[in-house]
């Protein structure tokens, strides 16, 4: 009804400039009349900025404000439908401005406009504009399409903004759900995001514009910033642009992850200066390319750019594809806790001198760093907990780490001396070209207190299989994982001797792969008498063994012999799993029917040989 009352007088004054719309007072319930009065002059800055006077007074009631809004919307329709040719341009724009200010103010501060009512008014505005456009081209030249298109886009944007505000603030949820959080909490949240996503939050609001610059971590990754085809210059420009905005701020971490290129050298040195000025604690220069074969150039770590303060602040260094040449008399990194070196050229002496001055080191990983010498750390490492050497040309490892708990080594068999590491709990060892007898002797002398041992090796078993005469003991070992690759068949006597060296073992995992397996398959169940003597074996030596899992099972004689030995000498065995799949080598069957037939024959072989010998309390699982 309010729309109809307001629309009539406006049509009769179609050729005259319309006056300012009157302020309507909502009639009381039961009254059939409406009264109008001239609005008072603007008394506030808010009303002065809206030429049509659509900004509501906060002191008015909700019902009165809603009715006034409807009347004013009707007046806007009259302006858009009935104004003259010379009046069309200013009034719709002024009307849009008023509607935009009104809707945004309502969406943030009040909840008086229902979604349905506002959508109805929006459609009425579109209908009015459409009627005017459809009528103009018939009688007159018409309105330029670009101007009306812009006006339509602005109107649709208004409707979209209002609906979005209603979805957030209309249900009592603030438009910015993080508005009430302290800045340090927001920084903590942003620190969990990748840098590119943290930068995007600057578009949320003015408050968030530079919030990302106070995040403690800066991480630049080439694939994320430039895609798979990494553009060196683009990466350099992006990093320099971000660091320029962060100049003078303090950060915890700087990470550069990009395939090394000689164009990066000068910029890496500049970024190292940023490490000094921004008091960085965690530094990562991960420059190893995906295909590094045949590439001999490396990035020389800039020790000369670091002052005494920066070397004392650094707690983590990750360097890949670089050179380490510490200057003479280098005092080391006294507070360094984590050192990760990958594909780094360094001599054994330089590394030894640097590590001797890192007394607070807790985590040390050296991968594919060819020392061609022994590594002997003279100074103690009382806080070292994790030690990892993989594929390093090294002849000996000697250091004192009394709190060491995890040790990983992959490579040729070398002499290992960890001092009195009585807290060692887990060891992962991969030797190449060594027998089980030699491995058991060497490992038992070093890892006497280890509880979880993973051992990986491949070798040719001796020509005369026999039990070890005096096997060493792993008295603390509870969980043993063996990854063995045999050329012909399982060396059962040495495998049994290795297992007997752990009298308190409870869990045994085995992946026993055989290269020449085709001639060793047994496809028909038949009694197996054994072909290796087990004289000198203790009576039931595996009294604590409860769980056994054998993978890469092919039904060879050596595999069956070892399974029967375990079943007969482990009275507490509760679970036995036999898996035909490989864990070390991925082998894919081209013919699914042949695979199913093979698996069925392997399972039948295992059941046949274990029938009547496995304890009723033991659960057999065939995979």
Confidence of residue 541 (pLDDT cuts 50, 70, 90): confident
Determine the average pLDDT of the residues in 309-320. 96
Look at residue 259 and tell me whether its pLDDT is greater than 90. Answer: yes
Determine the 3-state secondary structure of 553 from DSSP: coil
Indicate if the pLDDT at residue 144 is higher than 80. no
Average pLDDT score over the chain: 74
What pLDDT was estimated at residue 130?
Answer: 56
Rounded to the nearest 10 degrees, the angle between the axes of helix 592-610 and helix 557-569 is 40
Look at residue 174 in the predicted model and tell me its pLDDT: 52
How far apart CA 353 and CA 365 sit, in angstroms, is: 16
pLDDT tens digits for range 382-404: 999 999 999 998 999 999 999 99
Between 89 and 348, where is the model more confident?
Answer: 348
Structure confidence by residue, pLDDT tens digits, 401-454: 999 999 999 998 889 998 888 889 999 999 887 777 777 778 888 888 899 999
pLDDT of 550 higher than 70: yes
What is the rounded CA–CA span in Å between residue 336 and residue 383?
11
**In the chain, what percentage of residues exceed pLDDT 90?**
29
pLDDT at 351: 93
* Residue 221: C-alpha distances to residues 97, 212, 238, 343 (Å): 44, 17, 11, 19
Between CA 390 and CA 340 the distance in angstroms is 12
Q: How far apart are CA 440 and CA 427, in angstroms?
A: 13
Query: How far apart are the C-alpha atoms of 414 and 422, rounded to whole Å?
Result: 21
Give the pLDDT score at 335. 96
Query: Which residue in 446, 435, 434 sits closest to 396, CA to CA?
Result: 446
Identify the three-state secondary structure at position 593: helix
Residue 301 pLDDT: 96
Mean pLDDT of 538-546: 80
* pLDDT value for 340: 97
Distance CA 322, CA 120 (A): 67
Whole-angstrom Cα Rg for the chain = 40
Phi then psi for 468, rounded to 5 degrees? -70, 140
Q: Give the pLDDT confidence score for residue 582 in this predicted structure.
A: 77
Q: CA 112 to CA 117: how far, in whole Å?
A: 10
- Say how far apart CA 435 and CA 459 lie, in whole Å: 6
CB neighbourhood size of 511 (10 A)? 21
> Which pair of structure tokens corresponds to residue 68?
């006034």
- pLDDT tens for residues 500-535? 888 899 999 998 877 665 444 444 433 344 444 454
What percent of the chain lies above the pLDDT cut of 70? 63
Burial of 123 (0-12, 13-18, 19+ CB in 10 A): exposed
Q: Where are the beta strands (DSSP E) in 276-405?
A: 282-286, 299-300, 316-323, 338-345, 363-367, 373-376, 386-390, 394-398
How many alpha carbons fall within 13 Å on the CB side of residue 412? 9
Cα–Cα dist 531/558, whole Å:
9
CA 295 to chain centre: 30
Domain boundaries, the chain: 176-215
Instruction: Work out whether strand 253-257 and strand 282-286 pair parallel, antiparallel, or are unpaired.
Output: parallel
Q: State pTM to two decimals.
A: 0.67
Q: How confident is the model at residue 379 (pLDDT cuts 50, 70, 90)?
A: confident
Chain CA centroid to CA 104, Å: 38
Extended strands (E) in 466-546: 479-486, 507-514
């Amino acid at each position: 009804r309010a729309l109809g009352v307001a629309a009539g007088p406006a049509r009769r004054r179609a050729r005259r400039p319309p006056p300012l719309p009157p302020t309507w007072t909502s009639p009381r319930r039961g009254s059939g009349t409406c009264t109008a009065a001239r609005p008072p002059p603007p008394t506030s800055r808010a009303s002065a900025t809206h030429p049509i006077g659509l900004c509501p007074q906060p002191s008015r009631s909700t019902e009165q404000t809603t009715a006034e809004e409807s009347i004013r919307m009707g007046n806007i329709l009259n302006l858009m439908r009935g104004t003259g040719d010379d009046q069309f341009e200013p009034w719709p724009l002024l009307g849009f401005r008023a509607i935009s200010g009104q809707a945004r103010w309502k969406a943030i501060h009040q909840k008086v406009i229902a979604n349905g009512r506002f959508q109805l008014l929006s459609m009425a505005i579109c209908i009015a504009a459409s009627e005017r456009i459809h009528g103009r081209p018939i009688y007159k030249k018409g309105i330029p399409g670009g101007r009306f298109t812009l006006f339509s886009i602005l109107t649709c944007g208004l409707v979209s903004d209002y609906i979005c505000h209603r979805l957030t603030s209309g249900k009592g949820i603030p438009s910015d759900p993080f508005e009430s959080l302290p800045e340090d909490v927001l920084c903590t949240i942003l620190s969990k995001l990748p840098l590119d996503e943290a930068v995007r939050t600057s578009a949320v609001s003015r408050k968030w514009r530079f919030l990302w610059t106070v995040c403690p971590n800066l991480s630049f990754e080439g694939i994320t910033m430039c895609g798979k085809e990494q553009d060196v210059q683009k990466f350099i420009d992006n990093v320099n642009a971000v660091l320029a905005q962060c100049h003078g701020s303090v950060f915890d971490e700087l990470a550069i992850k990009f395939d090394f290129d000689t164009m990066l050298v000068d910029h890496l040195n500049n970024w190292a200066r940023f490490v000094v000025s921004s008091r960085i604690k965690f530094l990562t220069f991960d420059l190893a390319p995906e295909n590094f074969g045949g590439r001999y150039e490396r990035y020389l770590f800039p020790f000369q750019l670091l002052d005494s303060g920066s070397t004392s602040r650094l707690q983590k260094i990750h360097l890949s594809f670089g050179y380490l040449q510490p200057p003479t008399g280098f005092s080391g990194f006294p507070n360094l806790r984590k050192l990760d070196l990958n594909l780094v050229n360094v001599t054994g002496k330089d590394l030894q001198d640097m590590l001797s001055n890192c007394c607070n080191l807790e985590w040390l990983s050296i991968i594919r760093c060819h020392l061609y010498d022994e590594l002997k750390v003279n100074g103690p490492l009382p806080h070292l907990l994790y030690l990892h050497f993989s594929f390093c040309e090294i002849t000996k490892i000697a250091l004192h780490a009394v709190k060491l708990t995890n040790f990983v080594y992959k490579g040729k068999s070398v002499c290992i001396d960890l001092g009195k590491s009585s807290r060692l709990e887990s060891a992962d060892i991969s030797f190449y070209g060594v027998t089980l007898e030699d491995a058991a002797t060497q490992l038992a002398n070093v890892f006497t207190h280890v509880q979880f041992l993973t051992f990986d090796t491949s070798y040719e078993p001796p020509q005369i299989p026999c039990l070890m005469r005096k096997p060493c003991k792993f008295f603390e070992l509870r969980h043993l994982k063996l990854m063995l690759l045999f050329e012909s068949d399982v060396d059962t006597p040495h495998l049994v001797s290795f297992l007997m060296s752990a009298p308190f073992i409870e869990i045994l995992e085995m992946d026993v792969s055989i290269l020449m397996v085709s001639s060793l398959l047994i496809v028909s169940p038949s009694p197996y008498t054994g072909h290796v003597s087990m004289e000198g074996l203790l009576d039931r030596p595996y009294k604590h063994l409860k769980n056994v899992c054998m993978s890469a099972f092919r039904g060879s004689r050596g595999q069956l012999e070892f399974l029967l030995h375990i079943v007969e000498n482990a009275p507490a065995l509760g679970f036995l799993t036999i898996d035909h799949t490989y864990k070390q080598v991925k082998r894919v069957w081209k013919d699914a029917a042949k695979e199913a037939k093979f698996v069925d024959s392997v399972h039948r072989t295992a059941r046949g040989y274990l029938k009547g010998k496995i304890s009723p309390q033991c659960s057999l699982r065939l995979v």
